Amino acid sequence: MSKVERLSEIAMKIITCAGLAKSNYLMALEDAKKGNVEEAQKKLQEGSDVFAEAHHVHASALSDEMKELEPQVTLLLVHAEDQLMNAETIKILVQELMGIYQAK
């Protein structure tokens, strides 16, 4: 497998996990709006679990790159990192909003 193929595989794994995390976070927010606190917390945790998987894949890729001292940047990898950062931002915002809904 070439380096580009390997990076593409890594990027797609990150994108998939980050997308699943974002979906879970947004479903948690919907549950919080409806007052389903337990279900919201469950979805938030599911999102966090899959986000952790994406973060692990990303960290491994960074570690591998450091060992090789040969940076490889592809548009797909940049997109994957963007999705990962967006998932983290959405989680933070959802947690804040859930706190507001629970305070009502």
Q: Which long-range contacts (CB under 8 A, 24 or more apart) does 30-37 make?
A: 32/94, 32/97, 32/98, 32/101, 32/102, 33/101, 35/101, 37/102
Q: Which residues are marked as active site?
A: 79
